[in-house]
Amino acid sequence: MAFMIAQRAFIKLYLITMVEQHRGYGYEMLEAMKQEFKAYGYVPPQSEIYRALHELVQQGVFYRTKKLKGSDPKVDFQEIVLYHFTDDGAEKAELYKKQVKADLDRCLGMLHKAEEDNYGVKGR
């Protein structure tokens, strides 16, 4: 068993939630995660975001579609890749989230114990 939750598992958890919320494409997801975790000094590596998305596609959780970024095809030529759940992807995602939740709970327990044992901080 790993010491703490793996970075890719953590990233996949957030990517799944963002797809559930219909929040954008890969680069937008990266920027959203950067903003979310800026206060904690964590910047998710772009390469890890795309590896995690690729794995979720390979695992049959997501499929990709492409579309032009803007609304005017005469002017907007940038193509983006959107991620969606496959037919059984939402079920697979929910199972994955349950597994990660158990790991997060274990990690939180360890962190709270370390905080209490070493800094006298109690009651979280």
Question: Looking at the predicted structure, is the pLDDT value of residue 76 above 80?
Answer: no
Q: What is the 3-state secondary structure (H, E, C) of the chain?
A: CCCCCCHHHHHHHHHHHHHHCCCCEHHHHHHHHHHHHHHHCCCCCHHHHHHHHHHHHHCCCEEEEEEECCCCCCCCCCEEEEEEECCCHHHHHHHHHHHHHHHHHHHHHHHHHHHHHHHCCCCC
Token pair of 77, please?
């030529």
- CATH class name, domain 5-117: mainly alpha
Quick check: pTM over 0.85? yes
Looking at residues 49-72, what average pLDDT do you find?
92
Q: In whole numbers, what is the pLDDT of the chain averaged over residues? A: 92
Looking at residues 42-50, what average pLDDT do you find?
96
Question: Looking at the predicted structure, is the pLDDT value of residue 47 above 90?
Answer: yes
pLDDT score, position 18? 97
Residues near 20 by Cβ (< 8 Å), separated by ≥ 6? 90, 93
Residue 123 pLDDT class (50, 70, 90 cuts): low
